[in-house]
Amino acid sequence: MSDYNFAYLDEQTKRMIRRAILKGLAIPGYQVPFASREMPMPYGWGTGGVQVSAAVLTPEDRFKVIDQGADDTTNAVSIRRFFEKTAGVAVTEATTEASVIQTRHRIPETPLREDQILVYQVPIPEPLRFLEPSEVETRKMHSLEEYGLMHVKLYEDISQHGAIATAYAYPVKVEGRYVMDPSPIPKFDNPKLEMAGIQLFGAGREQRIYAVPPYTQVVSLDFDDYPFEPTKADHACDLCGATDSYLDELIMDDAGGRMFMCSDTDYCGARRTAGHLGAQGAPLAEDAA
Amino acid sequence: MTPLLQVEGIAKMYGARIGCTDVSFDLYPGEVMGIVGESGSGKSTLLNCLAGHLQPDAGAVRFDTRAEGLRDTVMMSEPERRMLSRTDWAFVHQHARDGLRMNVSAGGNVGERLMAVNARHYGDIRDKAIDWLGRVEISADRIDDRPTAFSGGMQQRLQIARNLVTGPRLVFMDEPTGGLDVSVQARLLDLLRGLVREMGLSAIIVTHDLAVVRLLADRLMVMKDGHVIESGLTDQVLDDPQHAYTQLLVSSVLQV
Amino acid sequence: MYVAVKGGERAIDNAHAWLAEERRGDRDVAELGVDQIREQMTLAVNRVMAEGSLYDPDLAALAIKQSRGDLIEAIFLIRAYRTTLPRFGGSNPVDTATMACDRRVSATFKDAPGGQVLGPTFDYTHRLLDFKLAADGEFGEMPQTEPNAGETPHIMGFLDREDLIQSEPTGSDTPDDLTRSPLELPASRALRLQALTRGDEGFILGMAYSTQRGYARNHAFVAELRIGAVAVEMEIPELGFAIDIGEITLTECETVNQFKGSKTEPPQFTRGYGLVFGMTERKAISMALVDRALRWKELGEDNLGAPAQDEEFVLYHADNIQATGFLEHIKLPHYVDFQSELELIRKLRREAQASEQAAGQAEEEGPSGGSLKGKMKEGVAS
C-alpha cells in the first residue's frame, strides 16, 4: 500500500478531521459534524474510530487496538493490520506501552496516562436518539440544554423495574453541560471516563466526532436517591483472580457450567505473568497459539 | 400596573383568506380571557399566534418576562420561546394526546417539567406527581399507568397537571372541554376554576361553548370571520350582547 | 482447564483464501473477463457507477468481478477507491439539452420535436426466459438508419413557454458536495438530489412507489425521459477557456406533477427531477418522484406524514453502504454489552422475587405490609 498517504487518508482530510477534534476538545461532549469518508471497512465497523486514529497517528506512535477488551478479536485484528499496512506504525498489545489506543466497547482496566490517547468507536453518538428519532429535534435539545426527556426515561425505569435499566452506553453529563453517549461501554467503565488521557469519540456513519479532554468532569446521570452504580458480575476472574476488572462469562458445558475471565486480555495476561492465579488459572504459556 | 401580556395588531392570513386580523388586548396577572366563536371564526389561529405555534403576519405579543420586562415574543428566537414555554407558559391542547407523552407513565408525564428544571430526587418528584394527581382528582395508584389506559376526562386532567406542576404564569387553553361528556366537562371546569383562583394564573381560553366562558373567564372576545366583533366583561357581554352576531350566539344556547 | 481462544489473525487469513477460491468457482469454467462484464452486464455496471458516484465502467466491472456479483459490495469497493482519488477541480454543469439521445420518450405528449425514440429498452419485451440465450447469443443484423440531425429540445421548455410550469430557481453558486461536507438538515435541494442519485435503487424505488399508492400522492407524469451521451467540459485556468475532457452517458427524467393548495400561487404544474449515471431508468424515475415528494415545504404543501416527505427518514436511510455497514455490524462481537444486560436482568429479577417473598410473608403476618406495588416502586427516602 505504498501508493497511499500515511495512515491512508490524504492530508486535507486529516486536517478536516483534526479541526473537528479540536472543536470537540474545546466543547467537551458536544457532537461536531464532520464529513466522514468512505473507508475500506464498512460503516458500522469502526470507520469513525479509524478516521480519528488516522488523523492523530504519527510515525513515532505505538498503536493498540481492542474490541470487547481483547486484542485478538477479528475486527481488532483487521483494524490493527490496516494501520500496520498504511501507516507502518509499531503495534503493541500492552496498554502501558501504547501511545494511541483504539477501542470498541471497553475502557482498559489499567488507568491511562497524560501521554496517551483513547479513541472510541461509536455506533450511535446521540444519547437521545431512542427517545427522539429526529436529528433536527435532538440538536435543538442539546443546544437548549433540554434534557428533561433523558431523566424521564430514568424515572420510568425506576417506576417499572425499581432501578435504572441501562446496562451499557450509560448517558453521562460532561463538564456540567452536554449529555453524552460514552459509546456502548458497560456502565462498569463509566467512572474511568474521568482520566488523565485524551478521549476521542468517532462515529463514521453518523458523521460525528466528540471529545473529552483530560481531567474533565464526567458524571453518570442518576437521581439523588437512586445513585449510579458501576456494577459487574459478582465473581473473580477464574484465570488471574482479579476482583476489580470487568468479566466475560463463558459457557463451558451443556449442564450450564460457566467460568468468568477478564474481558481485558492484556490486564489478565499481565497479572498472570506476575504470578496471580485464579480458581482455574495456570501460567500464561499453556494457552493455545 | 404592567400587563402580563400585551397583544397588539395581530394578523394572520392564509393567501387571500383572513385567519385573524387586527386583534389587540391587554391581559393582567390573575385574569382569564375567553375567546369565543364558531368554527372558522379564527379563534384557534389567534391562540396559536399568541402561543408562538404560528408566525403571525403582523403584530406584537409582548410578555412581561421575569428578567427583562415586556418583550415581544414574536421577535424572540426559537430557543427563547421554547424556554418560555417550558417555564412561564403552559398550553393545554384540545386533544390530550397532543399535550401528553402517551408512552410515558402518568407520573413521568407530570414529573417531566420538574426534571427539565433539574429536579433530581426520584422520591420528591414522585411525591409531587402524586400530589398533583390528587389535585386533579386522579387516584394515586394510577401513577404508573400510561395515559392510554385513561378515560378522555382523565387524560385531560393529567394534561392540566403536567402543565401546572411548575407554576407557570400564563396558560393557553384550546377547547379544554371539547369532546368530553357533559358531566365530565362540568367537573373539569370546576377543577380549572379552582386551580386558576388558587394559583393566581392568567389564562387565555378558546372555546365555542359559552358555558365555559361564563364559568371561567373574567373577560371575553367574540370572533367572527377572523375579526373581533365584540369584547368586554364576560357577564356584560353575555347578559347584554350588543352585536347582532353575539346576540345570535347567546340566544342559540339551548336551555335545558 | 480452560484454554483461551486465540488465533484471530490466522482465521482471517484462511477466510480470505477460501473467499478467493469461491470467487473463481469451478476452474473448468472459463474465467470471467472484466471486459465481458463491462460489455454484457452494462446495467449492473451502470448501477455500480451511479451509487458509487464514480463514472468509470472498467473500474465498476472490476469491482463487480471482485465482489462476485454482489452489487452493494461492488459499490462499496468503488466508494472506498473514490475516497483516495485526488480532485483536480469541477466541471461545468453538463448541458443535457445537447444530449445525443439514444432513447427519448414522453408520456405527456404524443409527439414532440425530436420524436419518441424507444431506444434499446426492455419495455415491450415479453418476459419469457430465452433458453436459446443459454446456448448462444447470436442474433440477426439490426436495421440501420441516419441519426437525428438537430438537437432534441427539452419538453419542459414548451410548458415553460406557456408559463404553465413552476420555474426552477436559477443560480451560479456551486452547491455543497455531499461527499465533502456532513449532511446537515434541513438539506438544500441540491444536497437532496445528490443523496438520491447515489442512494440505493431499491429503497428509492420503494419510496417512489409509496407516493404513487397514496402516501403523499402528487400524480406524476413523465414529461421526458432521455438517455444518451453528454460532453463534460472543464475550465482550464492556464488556457482561460473550457475544453471537453470526455463524454458520459446519463439518464435524465423530468416529471410533471399537479400542484395543489398553496397560500399565494394559482395552480401550476410542478416538477420532479432525476439524473443518474449510465442507462439507469428505474432509478431516475424513482428519484424524480421522491424529489417531488420532498419538496412539499418549499411548495407550500401540507406535511401529510408520509415517509417519502420525511427528509430525515429518506436521506438518512437511502445510502446502502451506510445501511449495510450498520446492519451487518451486528455480527461483530457484542458480548461485553450483552454481559452487562445479563447482569442487570438477573439483578432485577432477584429483587423482584425478593419483594414478592417479602410481600407474601407480610400478608401472612398482617396488614402492615403494604402492597407489592408500593414496595417495589416507592422512592427510597434519602
pLDDT digits (tens), chain C, 382 positions? 566 667 778 888 999 999 999 999 999 999 999 999 999 999 999 999 999 999 999 999 999 999 999 999 999 999 999 988 888 889 999 999 999 999 999 998 888 888 888 889 998 888 888 888 888 778 888 888 887 767 788 988 888 887 788 888 888 788 889 998 888 889 999 999 999 999 999 999 999 999 998 888 877 999 999 999 999 999 998 999 999 999 999 999 999 987 654 556 677 888 999 999 999 999 999 999 999 999 998 887 888 899 999 999 999 999 999 999 999 999 888 888 888 888 888 988 988 899 888 888 877 765 544 444 444 444 433 3
Pairing of the two strands C100-105 and C220-236: antiparallel
Contacts of C250 (CB under 8 A, 6+ apart): C94, C96, C99, C227, C228, C229, C230, C275, C276, C277, C278
Chain A residues in contact with C343 (beta carbon < 8 A): 167, 231-233
* A38, amino acid identity: E
Nearest to B15 among C264, C373, C379 (CB): C264
Q: Which helix (H) or strand (E) holds C291?
A: helix C281-294
The mean-pLDDT minimum among A271-275, B116-120, C365-369 falls in C365-369
pTM of the model: 0.81
Shortest Cα–Cα distance, A123 to chain B (Å): 26
Does the beta-carbon distance from A42 to C328 stay under 8 Å?
yes
Q: How far from chain centre, in Å, is Cα C352? A: 48
- Round to whole Å and give the CA distance between C336 and C324: 23
Instruction: Kindly report, residue by residue over B194-224, the tens digit of the pLDDT.
Output: 988 888 899 999 998 888 999 999 999 999 9
**Residues B27/B33/B38/B40 CA torsion (nearest 10 deg):** 30
What is the SS3 assignment for B110? Answer: helix
Look up cell 383562583; give the residue.
B197
| pLDDT at position A2 over 80 | no
Nearest to C8 among A44, A73, A185 (CB): A73
Q: How far from chain centre, in Å, is Cα C134? A: 32
B128 HSE (CA, 13 A, CB side): 21
Look up cell 489499567; give the residue.
A110
Pick among B122, B130, B142, B145 to test the C interface (most C CBs inside 10 A)? B122
- Round to whole Å and give the CA distance between C298 and A41: 38
Nearest to B108 among A140, A156, A226 (CB): A156
Look up cell 432509478; give the residue.
C283
User: Residue B152, class by beta-carbon neighbours within 10 Å (0-12 exposed, 13-18 middle, 19+ buried)?
Assistant: middle
- C56 near C85, Cβ under 8 Å? no
- B239 near B218, Cβ under 8 Å? no
Pick among B80, B100, B109, B120 to test the A interface (most A CBs inside 10 A)? B120
Grid cell locating B236: 356584560
Chain C residues in contact with A210 (beta carbon < 8 A): none
- Round to whole Å and give the CA distance between A144 and A132: 15
pLDDT, chain A, mean: 92
Contacts of C364 (CB under 8 A, 6+ apart): none
Q: How far from chain centre, in Å, is Cα B54? A: 15
Q: Which of B207, B205, B183, B164 lies closest to B31 in space, CA to CA?
A: B205
pLDDT score for C139: 80
Chain B residues 137-176 within an 8 A CB cutoff of chain A: 143-144
Q: Which of B14, A164, B68 lies closest to C265 in space, CA to CA?
A: B14
Q: Which helix (H) or strand (E) holds C364?
A: helix C335-365
| pLDDT at position A133 over 90 | no
Shortest Cα–Cα distance, B11 to chain C (Å): 15
Average pLDDT over residues A138-147: 91
A278 is a catalytic site residue: no
Q: How many helices (H) and strands (E) does chain A have?
A: 6, 12
pLDDT score for A176: 95
Does the beta-carbon distance from B108 to A152 stay under 8 Å?
yes
Grid cell locating C73: 459490495
Does the beta-carbon distance from C379 to B126 stay under 8 Å?
yes
State ipTM. 0.85
State the alpha helices, DSSP H only, in chain A: 11-26, 47-56, 74-87, 135-143, 148-161, 265-273
Grid cell locating C283: 432509478
What is the SS3 assignment for B10? Answer: strand
- Round to whole Å and give the CA distance between A71 and A264: 9
Give how far Cα C298 sits from Cα of B109, C187, C302, C381, Å: 35, 12, 10, 55
Shortest Cα–Cα distance, A134 to chain B (Å): 16
